Amino acid sequence: MPDIDILVYSPNDMKDFIRFCVEGKPTGETDPQTGLPTFEQDEDGNDIRGVFSWLNGHEVDTAQFFHTVQNDDMQLFIAEVQKDENDDGDRPWFRRIKTKPPIIIFEPDIAGIDKLLRIDGKFGTLTKFKPLSELLGTLAEDKPLEAKFAASKQKVLKVLTQLEKDPTRRRAFLAALRSDRGSMPTEVFARIKNDFQVSF
């Protein structure tokens, strides 16, 4: 029985967040040695490659996306994802610091996502009460976004198929997609491009 994770976000700006999901934060420039696009980096020096890249780095099989419309009273984005059967890790957004009193800090797994989200605990503001059913009724499934994710997944699967007999490179490729610290995505993706003619 597969595990389905439900990830809930409240973006500052829905259009910016959806763009971030698909493409991350490209600089608009290319690396002169590899010809691959370069990305902005977070405070830890990790490439900001976006939600799709992170999901593919965790080998998410299927994803559905729902969100409110731009300029709605409530800004809510929900990703429903089927985890890989071998992925038993939990990825909380918050970490508790054992001080007196304890402090809870926002510590996202996806590089750069914290700059696009509300972290005050609110999902929006209203001038009058509305039934929760009405608020949730403003959510709509985003089929075009799901199609873009499926296309990115197929691109990743093409490479993973080629790396089936090389578990070391396979792990390095997935880590680079996730922008793990020390994963050296420029070098990893340059070699992928050279060997398999696929660009990331």
Q: Cβ of 108: how many Cβ atoms within 10 Å? A: 18
Q: Is residue 102 part of a domain?
A: yes
Degrees (nearest 5) of the Cα angle 106, 189, 191? Answer: 150
Radius of gyration of the chain from its Cα atoms, rounded to whole angstroms: 18
The reported pTM is 0.88
Instruction: Tell whether 181 is covered by a domain.
Output: no
Residue 99 placed within a domain: yes
Q: How far apart are CA 16 and CA 51, in angstroms?
A: 12
Q: Is residue 160, in this structure, part of any structural domain at all?
A: no
Q: What is the pLDDT of residue 118?
A: 87
Structurally, how many domains does the chain consist of?
Answer: 1
**Residue 96: C-alpha distances to residues 99, 119, 180 (Å):** 9, 15, 21
Per-residue pLDDT of the chain (200 residues; tens, 9 = 90+): 678 888 888 999 999 999 999 999 999 999 998 899 999 999 999 999 999 999 999 999 899 999 998 767 889 999 999 876 777 666 555 556 677 776 666 667 899 998 999 878 788 888 899 898 988 899 999 999 999 999 999 999 999 999 999 999 999 999 999 999 999 999 999 999 999 999 99
pLDDT for 104 equals: 60
pLDDT in tens, 121-138: 788 888 899 898 988 899
Q: Provide the domain limits for residue 30.
A: 4-155
